[in-house]
Amino acid sequence: MEMDKKIKLSKDINVTELDGEKVMVDFETGKYFIIKGCGNDIWDMLSEEISPNEIIDKLLTEYDVSREVCTQSVMDFLGKMEEYNFV
């Protein structure tokens, strides 16, 4: 995934919030995710077109984490989202 390429959620996915976690279900495939913490923030950012670099920059203003760790975490998360065709 290119760091400056704009991405967003590719389709409507049923999302429910439970105790600070998001539970997402794709009824077409039966695949689901449970995310919490900064994953919730990333998910919310993906409702609009945004690049991985922009996501990282925003998270760095909210969390006390190094750019390297943040970048790896964001790319891992987005990789899973891409694997399941959510972005």
Q: What is the pLDDT of residues 8-54, one digit of tens each?
A: 988 777 788 888 899 988 788 887 888 988 999 999 999 999 999 99
Q: What is the mean pLDDT of residues 58-67?
A: 97
pLDDT of 85 above 90: no
| Domain edges within the chain | 14-83
32 close to 23: Cβ distance less than 8 angstroms: yes
Q: How confident is the model at residue 7 (pLDDT cuts 50, 70, 90)?
A: very high
Rounded Cα distance, 66 and 60, in Å: 8
Percentages helix, strand, coil for the chain, rounded to the nearest 5? Answer: 40, 20, 40
pTM (2 decimals)?
Answer: 0.86
16 — phi, psi (to 5°)?
A: -125, 140
User: What pLDDT score was predicted for residue 20?
Assistant: 85
